[in-house]
Amino acid sequence: MSLRQRFLSSLKRFGSSDPLPLRIVFWDGDSFDFGSDPTVTLTIRSPAVVRSFVTGRIDRLGDAYATGDLLVDGTVHDILQIGIQLAERFGRISRLAAIARPLQPLRFRHSRRNDAAAITRHYDVSNDFYRLWLDDSMTYSCAYFLTGTEDIDRAQEQKVDHICRKLRLRPGHTILDIGCGWGGLVRRAASRYGVKAVGVTNSPAQYHYACDRVAADGLGDAVEIRLEDYRDIPGAAIFDKIVSVGMYEHVGFDNLPVYFETIVRLLKPGGALLNHGIIATDPEGRSQGPPGGEFIDRHVFPGGALPNLPRVFHEVMRSGLEPVDVEDLRPHYARTLLFWVKRLEANAQAAADVAGIERYRVWRIYLAGMALAFDRGWLSVAQVLTYKPCGDRPSPRPWTRDYQYVAEGNPPHVGPMSGALDWAS
């Protein structure tokens, strides 16, 4: 029996009771439908792809998808659903069809040089590429929805304001943003809350873009952007508040103590830290959902690793910080990612022009897969608010959480409940 026959026989056998809505097209034009109304088409352009399926070398399928040896047509939702069904029936899964597994702690040494190289690979694709699907402020992290009906620009503004209220920013405060990205948070914090802000990033592309936006907004006296590793930020007890969004992925497990010790060194006694980051949801920190970590490490996010919430709290308390509040934003990130992938798809040709067709394919399925991961609860994102004690005494803090939700004298907004993603919306 040929490899092609073995492959088709396996699909037919596993799909006999409940046929998949799948069409397979081979390099010579032959095609086979496994359901009456296929919603997904896999076009196999090389015998090597069939060999990877049959021999279980699933790790090669993501590479084949990126290079175009394996094409996938259909909505991202249908593609991911087909991938999960194949996983359930074969006991394994095609990584191109579901890139929704938490990032794994692979063998990656988080030195300054390696971290800078990883950041460059992930963020220095092209500012024009990210501009196609991010909001106007270029905020590349979970947005914050009050009703679920906001557009991405408004939801990202709400996220920054939510963070600033949690930190209780006031005119004259000094704030440090570790991993400031394209500078959206520090610019809004300075212009809306009257603080002096420093943002640090390891990405040259982000640094130059952020500096240009600071200058264009006339914030040069209030905002400083630095191209700097967080471990090299000088000084001690110089910031009233510190915020760090999306840094767990870059820091690595072994460097979490250094990360939090650096924050403690830089934060004034009584000062607050707001850490916003993706976390694993398994209590033991194990990955959940279908595989995909190696695909992400090779093509999207080299060296990424995610702690679970107990690990975060352990490191926070070991550093001497006092945790006072934690908020789970999982549904918010699922919706944010759905916004991003739909905006990317709407600009497919422009994305391919500025970043290459392979990168467009990779990011389309990566963003969709991550949306599914948050929607299913395989990943989550948490905002953890902590304070630095005042000597031998705990830091003072508000009696209630009202300050987080009452803005400009308005009562807290109570919106509708969030639910599963509506992929068709």
- What percentage of the chain reaches a pLDDT higher than 90? 54
- Strand partners of residue 387: 272, 322
Q: What is the architecture of the domain spanning 3-90?
A: 2-Layer Sandwich (3.30)
Spans of all domains in the chain: 3-90, 112-405
**pLDDT higher than threshold 90 for residue 406:** no
* pLDDT score of 268: 97
Which homologous superfamily does the CATH classification assign to the domain defined by 112-405? Vaccinia Virus protein VP39 (3.40.50.150)
| Of 194, 307, 183, the residue nearest 253 (C-alpha) | 307
pLDDT tens, residue by residue, 93-144: 344 334 444 434 444 455 566 555 555 555 557 899 999 999 999 999 999 9
Q: Which residue(s) pair with 151 in the sheet?
A: none
Question: pLDDT: is 420 or 171 the higher one?
Answer: 171
Contacts of 96 (CB under 8 A, 6+ apart): 61, 62, 64, 65, 70, 72, 83, 295, 365
Average pLDDT over residues 372-401: 90
The model's pLDDT over 37-61, given as tens digits with 9 standing for 90+, comes to: 899 998 999 988 888 777 666 667 7
Question: Residue 185 half-sphere exposure, CB side, CA atoms within 13 Å?
Answer: 32
Query: Cα separation of 195 and 219, whole Å?
Result: 11
- The pLDDT of 344-349, averaged and rounded, is 96
Query: Range with the lowest mean pLDDT among 81-90, 343-352, 357-366?
Result: 81-90
Q: How many percent of the chain have pLDDT more than 70?
A: 81
The full length of the chain comes to 425
pLDDT bin (cut points 50, 70, 90) of residue 78 is confident
Q: What's the rounded Cα separation, in Å, for the pair 348 and 72?
A: 15
